[in-house]
Amino acid sequence: MPKSLYIDPNATLRPQEHELKLPTIPVMQYNKTVKQEIKDGNFTPEDLLRIYRDMSYIREFETMLNLVKTTGGYNGVAYNNPGPAHLSAGQEAAAVGMAYCLDTDDFIFGSHRSHGEILAKGLRSIQILPDAELEKVMKEFWGGATLEVAKKAYDGKDTKELGIRFLLYGAMAEIFARVTGFNKGLGGSMHTFFTPFGIYPNNAIVGGSGSIAVGAALYKKVNRKKGIVVANLGDGAMARGPVLEGMTFASMDQFETLWEGDMKGGLPVLFNVMDNQYAMGGQTKGETMGYTFPARLGAGFKDDAMAAERVDGYNPLAVIDAFRRKKAYLEDKKGPALLDVVTYRYSGHSPSDQSSYRTKEEIAAWEAEDCIVAFGKKLIDAGVATQEALDAIRKDVNDNIFACYKLAIDDSLSPRMDLVKDSELLGDMMFSNQSIDSLSDAKPDVLMPLEENPRVKQIAGKSRFYIDAQGNKVSKMKMYNIKDGLFEAIADRFYKDASLVAYGEENREWGGAFAVYRGLTEAIPYHRLFNSPIAEAAIIGTAIGYAMCGGRVIPEIMYCDFLGCCGDEIFNQLPKWQAMSGNILKMPVVVRVSVGSKYGAQHSQDWTSLCTHIPGLKVAFPATPYDAKGLMNAALQGTDPVVFFESQRIYDKGEEFHEGGVPEGYYEIPFGEPDIKREGKDVTFLTIGATLYRAIEAADMLKEKYGLEAEVIDARSLVPFNYEKVIASVKKTGRIIIAGDACARGSYLNDLAANIADLCFDDLDAAPVVLGSRNWITPCHELEEAFFPQPSWFLDAINEKMIPLKDYVPVSNMTCAQKVLRSKKGV
């Protein structure tokens, strides 16, 4: 809602045009012959033969896998591959056509069915990379381990031929879960990729790349990097919300209307639909979709219909023709673009698919149109090659595949990780744990010196501790609060790291719904801080793509409750890629998530536990300005995905604990270190997030009325978590209450309790008590005290579970019988 864009009622209510005119979308318009293409100078005979060769590589590669899956071997050499194999035989022309126009700087993202795309792009990059560069890439990869084995399949001197063995072997070893594979065997068939060739991750979640690729394009644009990004998606993925959200994000008007200077213009991203007719067993055209052709989608997102075209994916030259035009369109900053590449897969969804949903006749009819056979025939017809020459190519291809196959299944040459013996190996790959000031060499784009920023000036007048020198409580307006702490850390990083971008709903003029960014609008240009559509899947998905390419990003989820809208991105994508890539990728994404209250059942939930459950995410939930700033600094200095929870209850809290208040300069609070906010000897309170303040209140009551001293520990971050301070505390007190605002059932609170019971068993005077919210919907604000843990609940728990308090009248029912009863009822 920028003020510069006036919504004119006159123009809105009384438009000049009374029809919404959609551009026409070309369908199968390519009609050139091979001879004509040669004549036009578009291809040399060598180019055409290489296209034939590349298609043959894909076909044999998929044939090999199909035979391994269905017959337990290939060319008489037995092998059992228990993992997935989603094959793309039939789609070779679409893949090779896609890759033909791409440079190494152009990135492709894929799906679960992307072996063909990887090989096509890899073969293309090998072809265009200078030999020296190619050699360097291969020698440096895994310290040359992959190359060493690949060399055994080639004894010649041709670097490109060696490169082909390297590509085939690296991909196969990955599919067979070997440590010499492109991702150390941790990605496998559906995730393998090789960034030095511009091959970015494929994705086992249908449509997963639909938003991630958009983020990669955003990275290229904001960081002024060369190249376009291709999102290879299936036609089935056109039904996926995150894909549609990714298209929405990529189509935002602001790229044209609000982004300035060289940043003006669309994102360089091409949604390339490998339209193979099936979504698993569902037939998209005629059954599960209503779009007639996927190309229609373009018209729904942008007035140029994303320059969508439906092209013949059975003819590599038709695909190349379309790609040449689309690439130019993107380089002209007119993106995004959409291609609907018609193709067909011969194999089922997977080798276990009996193709019960289609007839043999249908498959036979498509095989009769086979893209490789047909293209070979055209080459012969055009006098480019003889059948013998083509047969020789096929034989060479088959020999190379077989040679690499034998290497990739050899346990001594291509071992797997021994995760039993090296029990911490994979654990140590879950996080990259790096500390890097800036992920960019560029000078950060900013609009003013930070010290002139109005927010910075305002903060300078605030008290950085909750009481002044005279011991008087500082007024709310003059109090340096949690929002200020977050602002200082984020503003600092914007001025330090040119790659940092931040976006989400209402992030710019509004400063975020809770005004953490207020003042940044004046300081940071649009392309680094902008409003996103209300599309959480795209907000997180694009951030993942942005970070994969090497940038730092802060996507914001306005309410914790909306995490469900980006469930796949938060749970399946963000946490997985560092380890799944074999640590090739870093994931410097700090997801800011605001935890609400007062707004009822869909705006007041603490979902920290959902995030702690997923391996690969770091989780923080600071509750004081000092901790908020220090943890945000640490999050932004790191290279790991962080879900950074903030509580709307306490955004205005001043610093009440850290002596001397919040430092003005830069400092980090290491992740994983809980903090003792108050010392005590009789009972320990371990709190998550805003519950800290209710625990402090309870500690006051306990001291005043019952002479017991509570030690209050603020968890601060939940993953990682160092138990040492908690153990020491429990050794002292013998009792612990773990409290947070998450619903108690299945929460991280229980995880902490179970671990503490384990780690401190002989020191415990009572079982650890969990105080979480009731297992209900969050009621309206007026009724919240029955739902969220209250100070009185701490005393109730002590009285009922630990030490009977004299003359105590409990507020809540914490008896064992009640617990059993509630559990029986499922509440």
Partner 1 sequence: MAEVVIMPKQGQSVESCIMTEFKKNVGDQVAVGDILFSYETDKASFDEEAKVEGTVLAVFFKAGDEVPVLTNVMVIGKPGESFEQFAPGCAAAAEVSASETPATLGMVRGGTGSEADGGVERSETVSEAGASAAAAVEGASAAPVAGAPASPRARRIAAEKGLSIDQIAGSGPYGRIIARDVEAAAAGLHLTGLAKAMMAEGGKAAPAAGSGLGGAVKGSDLKVWQPNHSDIPGEGEEFRVEKLSNMRKLIAKSMYNSLQNSAQLTHMLGADARRIQALRKKAKKALEEGRIDANITINDFVCFAVIKALQKFPNVNSHCLGDAMRLFNTVNLGLAVDTERGLMVPAVKGAENLNIIGLSKMLKKVADDCKKGSINPDLLSSEAASFTVSNLGGYGVEWFTPIINVPQSAILGVGTIVPRPKDLGGGVYAFVPYLGLSLTYDHRAIDGGEATRFLKQVAVEIENLEVEF
Interface residues with partner 1 (CB under 8 A)? 682, 705-708, 734, 761-766, 800-806
Taking the least distance from each CB to partner 1, the nearer of 461 and 707 is 707
**Residue 733 CB, nearest distance to partner 1 (Å)?**
9
One-letter identity of residue 293: F
**Contact present, 541 and 246 (Cβ < 8 Å):** yes
**Residue 798 CB, nearest distance to partner 1 (Å)?**
8
Q: What are phi and psi of 557, to 5 degrees?
A: -105, 115
**Contact present, 334 and 304 (Cβ < 8 Å):** yes
Taking the least distance from each CB to partner 1, the nearer of 33 and 813 is 813
If you write DSSP's letter for every residue of 345-386 in order, what string do you get? -SS-SSTT---TTS-HHHHHHHHHT-HHHHHHHHHHHTTS--
Taking the least distance from each CB to partner 1, the nearer of 676 and 803 is 803
**Residue 816 CB, nearest distance to partner 1 (Å)?**
9
Exposure of 368 by Cβ count < 10 A (0-12 exposed, 13-18 middle, 19+ buried)?
A: exposed
CB atoms within 10 A of CB 3: 6
**Contact present, 740 and 608 (Cβ < 8 Å):** yes
**Residue 749 CB, nearest distance to partner 1 (Å)?**
20
Task: Report the length, in residues, of the chain.
Answer: 827
Taking the least distance from each CB to partner 1, the nearer of 544 and 730 is 730
**Residue 87 CB, nearest distance to partner 1 (Å)?**
58
**Residue 589 CB, nearest distance to partner 1 (Å)?**
42
Task: For strands 269-275 and 337-342, give the pairing.
Answer: parallel
**Residue 726 CB, nearest distance to partner 1 (Å)?**
15
**Residue 710 CB, nearest distance to partner 1 (Å)?**
12
Taking the least distance from each CB to partner 1, the nearer of 382 and 805 is 805
CA distances from 496 to 240, 436, 443, 489, 499 (A): 37, 11, 8, 11, 9
CA distances from 537 to 82, 565, 627 (A): 32, 6, 29
Nearest CA to 672 out of 626, 633, 724 is that of 724
Instruction: Give me the sign of the Cα torsion angle 197, 200, 206, 210.
Output: negative
**Residue 808 CB, nearest distance to partner 1 (Å)?**
9
User: Tokens representing 220?
Assistant: 């290229």
Element (H, E) at 619: strand 618-620
**Residue 702 CB, nearest distance to partner 1 (Å)?**
9
Nearest CA to 317 out of 231, 404, 382, 395 is that of 382
Taking the least distance from each CB to partner 1, the nearer of 280 and 814 is 814
What SS3 class is residue 339? strand
Q: Quote the CA–CA distance of 593 and 608 in Å, as a whole number.
A: 10
Q: Quote the CA–CA distance of 295 and 395 in Å, as a whole number.
A: 38
**Contact present, 261 and 330 (Cβ < 8 Å):** no
Taking the least distance from each CB to partner 1, the nearer of 340 and 800 is 800
Q: Quote the CA–CA distance of 542 and 553 in Å, as a whole number.
A: 10
- Choosing from 603, 613, 658, 781, the catalytic residue is 603
Taking the least distance from each CB to partner 1, the nearer of 205 and 753 is 753
What SS3 class is residue 791? helix
The three state secondary structure string of 99-136 is HHCCCCCCEEECCCCCHHHHHHHHHHHHHHCCHHHHHH
What SS3 class is residue 687? strand
| 603 is an active site residue | yes
Q: Quote the CA–CA distance of 335 and 340 in Å, as a whole number.
A: 16
The residues assigned a catalytic role are 603
